[in-house]
Structure 1
Amino acid sequence: MMNVERIDLMIVIHSLRGGGAERVAVDLAAGWLARGCRVMIVTQTDDREDAYPLPEGVRRHALGLAGDSAGPVGALWGNLMRVWALRRLVRRHRPAVVLGMMTRGSVLAVLAA
């Protein structure tokens, strides 16, 4: 098994494109990092359109699974892929806490963990 850094706190949010919850997620990550926690922010989007830069030391993992779905079957499949991808990440890093921000992030975190 490969050597993977264990994460203390994993924050799950759709993106960091802008908005209050996104700002709070970055601020929480910075605060916990300053207290010595190993923090990872997980998004469905990549960092190309981020409005908020992450403090150095906060890890970022983009699932790359954001996007519109083609009908109900496509939506179900897309959501299953998101849950599976996050579940693999949770199992790999074994965070002490998984915090879902907003409805999407919270539901995804609950289903994956």
Structure 2
Amino acid sequence: MGCGDTCRSSPGSVTCTGGLCIIQAKRTKNTVPAEAVRALAGVMHDKAAAKGILVTTAWFGKTSLDFAHRTGRMQLIDGCGLKALLQEQLGIDALIGLPKVPPGWVPEDLK
């Protein structure tokens, strides 16, 4: 089972229609803190954005995933989904360099 099979975030296409879309990127080697997801929600509220997207090279914890789901206007894309999007949209086979294999991933997903 590979990264694309177990990715809990939304690796599919990214669309922003019907208003302002706030995109934030986090390059980290560990779980993205839930505070980062809440901060994005705050910026979305402040700017009256229709959608928020948080992209990371790492992964999200359950608290972050649950919070984003409850808002209904956020999309979280983890390193697994980012790698899939780069391959699908740009033909780039990206290397995701992390010190450990994230939950739900296999070692081959980092190559």
TM-score by length of 2: 0.40
TM-score by length of 1: 0.39
